[in-house]
Structure 1
Amino acid sequence: MANTTSAKKATRKIARRTIVNKSRRTQMRGAVRTVEEAIKSGDREAALKAMSRAEPELMKAAQRNIIHKNNASRKVSRLSQRIAKLAK
């Protein structure tokens, strides 16, 4: 347990940030899930629409250090590739 006043404050601050970060991570994962479901169903239009919502979510999460920026870029790239395959 934290002993100093500053350590106690840091613990409270971390707890508040954890709640916010969990919410953002959940929102991001939900956006990615909708893209994956659209791809799985084979609906290219729905996948593109979902991707236009998911990409900013991923990049925003990367900016806020919820996920690594390379991780976000990789997810966007792989999802885009899978959507492109639907056109064929």
Structure 2
Amino acid sequence: MRRLLLKNLLRHPVTETAPEPDGAALAELAANLDRAARRKLGRSLAIREVDAGSCNGCELEIHALNNAFYDLERFGLRFVASPRHAD
């Protein structure tokens, strides 16, 4: 077991690295998504996510969508805590 572990740790990864994203292409994609969302929704969308007894994995994913890396709120999508605040 130790030999197999060391062999896998010392060899190069089998997968290829992902290409670096183009900043201009990402900005254009974000602008297109923003225009399409505004055209269909007309304004921002407040979503109430209901957890129905899961392992909290969904909750972690929802919180991750709101962090600075993904920042879903810049596209007009936000998650709210109360059904009264939701659309």
> Structure 2-normalised TM-score?
0.28
> Structure 1-normalised TM-score?
0.28
| Structure with a larger share of its residues in strand | 2
| Structure with a larger share of its residues in helix | 1
Q: Which has the larger radius of gyration?
A: 2
Identify the structure with bigger relative contact order (alpha carbons < 8 Å, sequence gap 6+).
2
